[in-house]
Structure 1
Amino acid sequence: MPADNVDLPPRRYADLQLLALRARRGDAADLKLSAKGLALLEALLAQPEAVSLSGISQLAQHHGVNPSRLTRLAHALGLEGFKALQALFREDLSDSAFYSTRAQRLLDFGETPRAEGDALADDRALWQQEMQNLSATVEALDTTQLAAAAASIQQARRIHVIGLRASFGAAHYLAYYLDYLRDSVHLVSGHAGVSVEQALRLGEEDLVIGIAFRPESRMSIDYCRLAVEQGASLLALTNHSSSQLATLSESTLLAPAEGAFFFNPMSSLFMLVELLLSRVAREMGHDAVLALRQREALISRLHVE
């Protein structure tokens, strides 16, 4: 980050990053932070999503401090209180500069995994983090909710699957194989000129499967919100229980995606999709086998490769 001064109070999440870096270097005389205050600020900056989506008591408990410490930190930064501090993190949550901000944080705070003398250490560390995400997904999985999600997929008249930007790959994967198993599966794709208004065609017998990781696509959220308003059911696949998508649905499957990765870790999301597909196929039993054989016969007859 540049070494330019930042006026107090900070107006953006990036300003907070710069203030923390200046304080760590000892060239922020205008910032009256104790060593513990600086450590708390750096800890918050290392987990922006948690700060954005947690209440002050929950966040204080997570960091082992009294909630008043968070209020005092906000005051030291020239802000009115914790809500004003949290607002800076929430703005970053939907900021168009999410990836560059995250990359800068990883580099400046040294959060990218490093090990001297081992050229593969960084890659192994990333693999270990993804394994932790996979384990966390399975441990947090509500099997009753997974079964209910599979049942809703079987019973729905029509299914619309939407996941844009980074989530599009998982949405395509899910829609592609659901189409093997049942009729009336539609992949919503902005690349095909699909607009939010298509959700107007949905009703009480229909299901939308929404997939959104941070930063959540506004079109995805708007599409799911409109579908719910039309009476359709919504199954949300996301990485945080307090995401915008999750707030629209009572049926949410979580795929934790933590780690020092410059982009969105997606392994847990694809595994969640695989678990959902497997459950649907298993519940369908011989009907799933018949559907697969019919699709394979068509592919063979049309010489599709």
Structure 2
Amino acid sequence: MSSNNKNELLRRIEEQYKELSKGQKRLADYIVQNYDKAVFLTAARLGKVVGVSESTVVRFATQLGYKGYPGFQRALEELVRHKLNSIQRMEVTYGRISQSEILESVLQSDIEKIKMTIGSLDQKAFEEAVDTIVKARKIYIIGIRSCAPLANFLSYYLNLIFDHITLVHTNSSSEIFEQMIRIGEEDVVIGISFPRYSMRTLKALEFASNRKAKVITLTDSVHSPMTIYSSCNLIARSDMASIVDSLVAPLSVINALVVALCMKKQKEVVKTLETLEEIWDEYQVYSGDELNQVDDRMELGYEE
């Protein structure tokens, strides 16, 4: 495997291996061969397993260019993120914190993902995505498994703006291609995929690209396989190594995309909403299942 294709941590180890001390080389050898186990270890525990001191572990992390052991451990998490099963991924994140700290820890992690997304999102790519969607003859949206709610959310709001939205149903690969059979160069497909990446989503983007359709991706990295067929990449951080990948930042990007599109199509959106309000009122869409506050009691808002 070439150096360019290697994970950043493995590349650093390879490049600096000759300059490492004897103890650090033992650490490097262990990491390369057992990174899926090392990711769960504290600095003290890793040192004990390898047979070196905790201070040697910390110096090893610094030698590789990381800000102490925490920075090194985040690099380890990045390395194993795509290879761990769900139980192991849960242990990586939550094995180090107490039950009482989980709520604050998860929320703080989500906040960090949004901050990191703000710093890394390409404004030009975002504007290109908006313009591409506005000009498209038909818009296809695809997201599978944990990304399906994101695709549904985006589809719901784009349907208020455009009349040519297709939310691709993804029970099978054949079903995907059947729904996209008429896609062409005047159309756009928005593919949403985060680790673990969906092969069906990737194949759908390849299918669209081969038919010269515009491809927009919402994914976690420029190194994501989803970007292979994409001309416009929206990057949102979602690298919480746990049983649940954080989708807060991707949802925020989708919100921004919807708002930007609404601004571009204000007249159409206002007209649609006015029509919907009339329909909701005429057919009492909400009166049958709303809860209304009456004095200090909650009453169902339906009429006899």
TM-score, with length taken from structure 1: 0.68
In structure 1, the residue matched to 2:235 is: 254
Q: How far is the alpha carbon of 1:164 from its aligned partner?
A: 0.9
- Correspondence 1:175-194 to 2 at 5 A: 175-191=155-171
Change (3 A) 1:128 1:285: same
TM-score normalized by structure 2? 0.68
Q: Does 1:145 align with 2:125?
A: yes
Q: Is the 8 A contact 1:188 1:194 kept in 2?
A: no
Select which of 65, 82, 86 maps to 1:99.
Answer: 86
User: d(CA) in 1 for partners of 2:144 and 2:164?
Assistant: 20
Q: How far apart are 1:207 and its partner, in Å?
A: 0.6
Aligned to 1:145, what secondary structure does the other structure show?
A: helix
Cα 1:209/1:12, change in 2 over 3 Å: farther
Match of 1:70 in 2: none
* Structure 1 runs not aligned, ≥5 long: 1-7, 52-88
Structure 2 equivalent of residue 47 of structure 1: 75
Q: Secondary structure at the match of 1:126?
A: helix
Cα deviation, residue 197, structure 1: 1.5
Is 2:136–2:186's contact at 8 Å kept on the other side of the alignment? Answer: yes
Query: Is 1:26 aligned to residue 26 of structure 2?
Result: no
**2:163 alignment partner AA:** D
Q: Which amino acid aligns with 1:98?
A: N
Tell me what 1:164 maps to.
144
Match of 2:153 in 1: 173
CA contact (8 A) 2:218 2:234 kept: yes
Identity %: 20
Provide the residue aligned with 1:125 in structure 2.
105
Q: CA deviation at 1:98?
A: 3.4
Q: Is 1:278 aligned to 2:255, yes or no? A: no
The 5 A counterparts of 1:64-75 are none
Q: Which residue is equivalent to 2:299?
A: none
Aligned partners of 1:134 and 1:19: how far apart in 2?
27
Distance 1:38 1:143 in 2: 34
Amino acid at match of 2:46: R
**Number of residue pairs matched by the alignment:** 249
Query: Which whole-Å CA distance do the structure 1 matches of 2:233 and 2:274 have between them?
Result: 31
Distance 1:192 1:27 in 2: 46
State the Cα RMSD in Å.
3.5
Q: Identify which of 273, 279, 282 aligns with 1:292.
A: 273
Query: 1:250 Cα shift?
Result: 2.3
Structure exhibiting the larger radius of gyration computed from Cα positions: 2
Q: Deviations over 1:38-64 (max 9, x none)?
A: 88697656435744xxxxxxxxxxxxx
Are 1:200 and 1:230, in contact at CA under 8 Å, matched by a contact in 2? no
Larger deviation, residues 217-226 vs 256-265 = 256-265
